[in-house]
Structure 1
Amino acid sequence: NIALSFLPDSYVQEDLTANQLYSISSQSKVMLSSLEEDITIYWVVASGEEDEYVEKLLHNYEDYSSRVTVEKKDPDLNPDFTNNYTDETIYNNSVIVECGDKYRYISYQDMYETSSMSYYSMYSSADEFAGESLITSAISYCTTEELPVIHILEGHGETELTESFQEALERDNLETETLSLLNSETVPEEVSCILVNAPSTDISETERDMLLDFMERGGRVLIISGTAEEEQLPNLKSVMENYGISVLEGVVVEENTDNYVYGNPVLLMPEMNSSDITDPLMEDNYQVVVPVSKALDVSEASEDVTVTSLLESSEESFLKDEGYDIETYEQEEGDVQGPLTLAALVTKDLEDDQQMQLVWIASSMMLEEAYNAYSSDANEDFILNVLEMMCEKDDSISVRSKSLTNEYLTISTADSSMIKVATMGMIPGIYLITGIVVAVRRRKR
């Protein structure tokens, strides 16, 4: 026992929690193994107020890497300690990660995430522990000299990024700045990646030409633009058409029940094709949900570009050109037959080892919080993967929060129907047949 007391906790204690709440994941271990600078984690907590999950998690960080030191700071004994780091209200079990002159404060309140979900949308409350996600992100932030910047185009009624996605960008150590081209002659030299998020009005021809010139200089652009209620955005579409790809207006309707969710044939659960963007999701069996999407025709792409269809509907799907005025989900004459591309990556190799990258996601609502919840955050992860690729963020560390209660599965309408049949029909039927057999045998006796 005396000998064991000198061993790190990770060697003598087993994490028996269902979701490995205070263990550190393989992603965190890879980052910790590559540390070249010393990290200090200040654990701000009064004596007797220690959170078990936080305590064991911090000990595991310290045990895994000799570069990490955890120091406990009692706010009752050191009331002014946190003043140099934050002016926020300090809660017990909050954490400060520091490396050199960089630091990040993590509030204890942010470590526990509560999702309030509607009964009518078939969800219940789900609490998550985000301790590892936040601490690993903070270590990555403190040890990264210059963070990538995503420039968000404005001036065309673009949809604001959700609070959830902004937090995801921060955790992923991607900074954001707004960008207006309305009074510019060219895209500024310091810009490397542009996000165009669901504009409601079209860009000008001048802005279109600036975007095309930017990409021909090795720029990267992500466009999220789906079925339009009013304006069709011809100049924005011509950005894609410049590379031989047509943006098809309308709404994709799915007839294969394996490829849509909640009984709604325009809430698509598409097939994902292999790529650096989709592979991490496919490996972990996550599914994106693409609501109210138009389509992309990649069949006539220019010879000097490489096109990857990232998301596709099934062969049983079709495109109805009425858009929001759709009156029936039945296939009619003139509807474009699937499979249909819902998101595509276009790349073009340039001189000096530069590469143009353009991604178009044909649904304006993919980042909305409800649909992201339907996908168990896979929608956010998909778009984060796009931005990480565009920023050449090879050292990206993405650690999911860990559920404290139940985990929810995104299942297709077909699977949902099978479960209903099994629970409402087959299982009761088995009990009924068993009862009849038992009753008959007893009578024969």
Structure 2
Amino acid sequence: MNVKKTSRRTKSGIYSLAISLVMIALVIGANLIVSLLPKSVVKIDTTAEKLYTVSGQTEQVLAGLSEDIQIYLIVEPGKEDSYIVNLLGRYAQLSRHIKLNRINPLIHPTFTLNYSDETVENNGVIVTSSARSMLVQQNDMFEYGFDYTYYTNATVFTGERKLTGAIRYVTEENVPTVYQLSGHGETTISERLTEAIVTENMDLKGLDILTAGSIPTDASAILLVSPQTDLSADEASILQRYLDQGGKLLLISGFCAEPMNNLYAMLSAFGMEPVQGVIIEADGARSISGYPYYLLPVLHEHTITNPLIQDHAKIVTPTAMGIREMATHRSSLVISPLLMTSDKSYSKTDPYGTQTFEREAGDLSGPFRVGMTAEERINDRDIKLAWYSSDMMILDQADDIVSGSNIDLVVNTLGWLCNQENGINVRAKSTVTPYLTVSTALKNIMGTVITVILPAAALAAGVAIYSYRRRRK
């Protein structure tokens, strides 16, 4: 009897040992296989902002490379920035034309002088091609501010935007020139917007049409921001002639009490007209809480807005005026909405004289467009116009409300106008660690499950197993 028991125990032990050895072999084999896979497969980016994942725009730029790009990371050993190192590694994985090199400035102190007269900081990056080079300093890849979601100091990583822009800069043959009109009390655009435009490899210059007498031949697009007085008849005629010849125009304007007959007449030639007044949004989900004139319009699908829609970004348009497609226009014109208010919105036709935000008799009913484009192709010439009807949307304070989406939208629009869709702006990414937010209801449910239901279930299962074993005996 004891021999049989010993035999069974021996067989059971051998069986268990065999199973253990097989499982160990499987684990070792799986680890060996995984170790041979590329890092892009085995590393998963779980950060909310996708800090270690490049955007579709960057992938498109890298896929289009036809020559080798040398990237030099200037850094002393042990002082590498993890965000920059990981990002450069992803670039190299995505394109065989990206050649990464680490340069220790302690060993090669004069190396950077071949490319820049600036003193290069640790983690500075030099991007170079056969045509030109560009230096991106570490400080240029980070922005510092305050995160109002978590009420803490926030660091925003803009490395992908800067480095992808540098790659485009060293590989593109021509850099588009955008002329900003002046002479009508226009708003000076912020340093933030200027930097974003330059980062996207566009040359931004000023232009007074009356002084110049014409639009320069190298103009890729014209930018008109918040004019406070109307264009003269001559200026409107020059601008109209430029557009008819395949020109591009971005207009950012708001409600203005001054008549703009010449400007609006020119826009009407391309099927667009204003709805005079300031829009109030009655749908609480489509405006900033407590500020019904700070609109959060719906984004419509377009080459300009698609990257923002994919990122679930919001746009804020303070004190916006309505704009609309004219009832009749040339059939060759293609008018597309970009931003739209809800059907609960309404427009105050006399915003300076109104005493309330509540709806009154005489207010115009929505929905309204607050962003739209017009396109027309004539004799192989592509005419493009874009119009946003909130001049406050480009202010830094408004841009902060939506974490930079407003600036992204403007730069995307200029990229579309200049036929640089592959340069659509890469969004910056916050390095703030997001907190898990649990509602009161969910907290109560989880508490009940953990403290009552699970212990009760375990106790019931124990009693059932004990009773079953008692009956078997």
2:191 to 163, 167, 176: 163
- 2:202 & 2:322 partners in 1: Cα distance? 29
2:406 alignment counterpart: 379
Q: CA deviation digits over 1:67-96, x for unaligned, max 9?
A: 222222222222222223333332111110
Asked whether 1:198 is paired with 2:214, we answer no
Asked whether 1:129 is paired with 2:157, we answer yes
Task: Report the alpha carbon displacement of residue 57 of structure 1 after superposing the two structures with TM.
Answer: 2.6
Structure 2 SS opposite 1:308: strand
Cα 1:100–1:322 change in 2 (3 A) is same
- 1:310 & 1:151 partners in 2: Cα distance? 23
- 1:169 & 1:273 partners in 2: Cα distance? 23
2:362 alignment counterpart: 334
Report the residue type matching 2:314 in the other structure.
Answer: Q
Task: Report the alpha carbon displacement of residue 14 of structure 1 after superposing the two structures with TM.
Answer: 5.3
Cα 1:370–1:89 change in 2 (3 A) is same
TM-score (norm 2): 0.80
Give the helix-richer structure, 1 or 2. Answer: 2
- 2:152 & 2:338 partners in 1: Cα distance? 31
Asked whether 1:398 is paired with 2:425, we answer yes
1:273 to 300, 310, 329: 300
Of structures 1 and 2, the one scoring higher in RCO (CA 8 A, sep 6+) is 1
2:86 alignment counterpart: 56
TM-score (norm 1): 0.84
Cα 1:90–1:192 change in 2 (3 A) is closer
Task: Report the alpha carbon displacement of residue 49 of structure 1 after superposing the two structures with TM.
Answer: 1.7
Report how many aligned residue pairs link the two structures.
419
2:320 alignment counterpart: 293
1:306 to 334, 338, 343: 334
CA contact 1:9–1:59 (8 Å) conserved in 2: no
Further displaced range: 327-336 or 241-250: 241-250
1:177 alignment counterpart: 205
Report the residue type matching 1:173 in the other structure.
Answer: N
CA contact 1:240–1:247 (8 Å) conserved in 2: no
Asked whether 1:217 is paired with 2:245, we answer yes
Cα 1:123–1:13 change in 2 (3 A) is closer
2:108 alignment counterpart: 78
2:4 alignment counterpart: none
1:21 alignment counterpart: 51
1:104 alignment counterpart: 134
Alignment of 1:306-325 (within 5 A): 306-325=334-353
Task: Report the alpha carbon displacement of residue 26 of structure 1 after superposing the two structures with TM.
Answer: 3.9
2:310 alignment counterpart: 283
Report the residue type matching 1:293 in the other structure.
Answer: A
CA RMSD in angstroms comes to 3.2
Cα 1:90–1:243 change in 2 (3 A) is closer
CA contact 2:411–2:424 (8 Å) conserved in 1: no
Report the residue type matching 1:303 in the other structure.
Answer: R
Task: Report the alpha carbon displacement of residue 17 of structure 1 after superposing the two structures with TM.
Answer: 4.9
Further displaced range: 206-215 or 47-56: 47-56
Gaps of 5+ in 1: 409-418, 435-445
Structure 2 SS opposite 1:192: strand
Task: Report the alpha carbon displacement of residue 295 of structure 1 after superposing the two structures with TM.
Answer: 1.1
Cα 1:167–1:382 change in 2 (3 A) is same
2:384 alignment counterpart: 357
- 1:66 & 1:11 partners in 2: Cα distance? 17
Structure 2 SS opposite 1:349: strand
% same residue: 33
- 2:328 & 2:159 partners in 1: Cα distance? 45
- 2:360 & 2:46 partners in 1: Cα distance? 56
2:280 alignment counterpart: 253
Further displaced range: 286-295 or 321-330: 321-330
Task: Report the alpha carbon displacement of residue 280 of structure 1 after superposing the two structures with TM.
Answer: 2.5
Cα 1:84–1:215 change in 2 (3 A) is same
Structure 1 SS opposite 2:162: helix
Structure 1 SS opposite 2:183: coil
1:415 alignment counterpart: none
Bigger Cα Rg: 2
Cα 1:257–1:376 change in 2 (3 A) is same
Cα 1:104–1:5 change in 2 (3 A) is farther
Q: CA deviation digits over 1:362-389, x for unaligned, max 9?
A: 1111111111121222212222222111
Further displaced range: 353-362 or 14-23: 14-23
Task: Report the alpha carbon displacement of residue 279 of structure 1 after superposing the two structures with TM.
Answer: 2.5
CA contact 1:150–1:176 (8 Å) conserved in 2: yes
2:397 alignment counterpart: 370
Gaps of 5+ in 2: 1-30, 450-473
Further displaced range: 322-331 or 34-43: 322-331
2:67 to 29, 37, 44: 37
2:265 to 238, 241, 244: 238
Structure 1 SS opposite 2:219: coil
CA contact 2:303–2:421 (8 Å) conserved in 1: no
